[in-house]
């Protein structure tokens, strides 16, 4: 874990995420552009925790764990340049940064590739795990406290996700289990209407678990949360339409070119 520890304790990386948090909260308008969603170090810390859980559940070796942890640590640095293409910008920034570190070139390539594809569509298992760990951070602490006020077009859908308190990952035989815990108010029937939010969560789940050759089970308070491919595909289409209409100023949120089939 030498490289991960070195990067984690680098003040340069912490400063990038501090600046991202400041940019996102500088004004009501900037908070709207972020979607009211955190991309600061608190988010990165949560993603690191999710990566650890996934690696533990899958029994991955230390080398694989370190590779994915480094990807998670650097995955959102591209938000320094706005939300549009943040994954691509982040990959370029990460590559430049990692070139200063003594690291196997193939490992470096996979880390950069994971960051470039962490929205959706990564071809490597490492990248799919990163995308899953990232999108599983959809619990209440992912959102800024004023999100409901400054992002009214999403406020109700976000309010529903803010009823999720935590997430745990485990494996039982050939089933990969994702267990959300709520505050008791989470409404599965209501949130299904917010298909883009559903797609953002369930596409990485589907892609990662299918690549492992496993079955998925997503639970909220021990009740299975089942989402059809039709709903996911509709969410993808709506996200991509939204992106084509709104990503004109270098800001915005993730887009997906992957379909659910």
Residue among 105, 178, 167 nearest 140 (CA): 167
CA distance 127 to 119: 10
- pLDDT, one tens digit per residue, over 180-227 is 999 999 999 888 888 888 888 999 999 999 999 999 999 999 999 999
As beta bridge partners, residue 170 has 177
- pLDDT, one tens digit per residue, over 77-123 is 999 998 778 889 999 999 999 999 999 999 999 999 999 988 666 78
> What average pLDDT does this structure show over 130-159?
78
Residue among 177, 171, 172, 146 nearest 159 (CA): 146
Residue among 159, 167, 163 nearest 136 (CA): 167
pLDDT grade, residue 234 (50/70/90)? confident
Instruction: Give, in words, the CATH class of 2-145+152-246.
Output: mainly alpha
> What average pLDDT does this structure show over 6-11?
97
Q: Classify residue 174 by burial, with Cβ atoms within 10 Å: 0-12, 13-18, 19+.
A: exposed
CA distance 127 to 71: 8
CA distance 72 to 144: 20
> Residue 250 carries which DSSP code?
S
Q: Phi and psi for 163 in degrees, rounded to 5?
A: -80, -10
CA-CA-CA-CA torsion sign (217, 73, 142, 259)? negative
As beta bridge partners, residue 216 has 176
| Global pTM value | 0.88
> What average pLDDT does this structure show over 153-181?
87
- pLDDT, one tens digit per residue, over 43-75 is 999 999 999 999 999 999 999 999 999 999 999
CA distance 28 to 256: 26
Q: Does residue 79 or residue 252 have the better pLDDT?
A: 79
Percent of the chain with pLDDT over 70: 87
Percent of the chain with pLDDT over 90: 61
pLDDT grade, residue 130 (50/70/90)? very high
> Residue 64 carries which DSSP code?
H
Give the Å distances, CA to CA, from 180 to 4, 25, 62, 64, 191: 28, 28, 26, 25, 15
Contacts of 41 (CB under 8 A, 6+ apart): 14, 17, 18, 21
Chain centroid to CA 231: 20
Domain residue spans in the chain?
2-145+152-246
Residue among 105, 133, 132, 128 nearest 44 (CA): 133
pLDDT grade, residue 250 (50/70/90)? very low
């Amino acid at each position: 874990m030498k490289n991960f520890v070195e990067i984690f304790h680098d003040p340069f990386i912490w400063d990038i995420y501090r600046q991202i948090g400041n940019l996102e909260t500088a004004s009501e308008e900037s908070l709207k552009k972020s979607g009211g969603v955190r991309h600061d170090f608190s988010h990165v810390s949560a993603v690191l925790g999710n990566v650890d859980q996934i690696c533990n559940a899958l029994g991955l070796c230390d080398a694989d764990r370190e590779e994915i942890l480094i990807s998670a640590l650097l995955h959102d640095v591209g938000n320094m340049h706005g939300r549009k293409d943040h994954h691509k910008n982040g990959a370029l920034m990460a590559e430049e940064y990692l070139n200063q570190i003594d690291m196997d070139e193939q490992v470096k390539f996979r880390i950069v590739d994971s960051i470039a594809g962490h929205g959706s569509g990564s071809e490597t298992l490492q990248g799919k795990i990163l995308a899953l760990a990232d999108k599983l951070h959809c619990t209440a602490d992912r959102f800024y406290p004023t999100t409901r006020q400054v992002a009214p077009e999403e406020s109700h859908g976000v309010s529903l996700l803010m009823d999720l308190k935590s997430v745990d990952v485990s494996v039982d035989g050939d089933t990969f289990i994702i267990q959300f815990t709520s505050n008791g108010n989470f409404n599965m029937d209501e949130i299904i209407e917010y298909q883009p939010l559903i797609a953002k969560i369930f596409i990485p789940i589907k892609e990662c678990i299918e690549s492992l050759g496993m079955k998925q089970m997503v639970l909220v308070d021990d009740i299975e949360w089942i989402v059809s491919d039709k709903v996911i595909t509709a969410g993808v289409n709506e996200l991509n339409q939204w992106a084509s209409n709104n990503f004109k100023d270098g800001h915005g949120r993730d887009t997906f070119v992957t379909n659910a089939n």
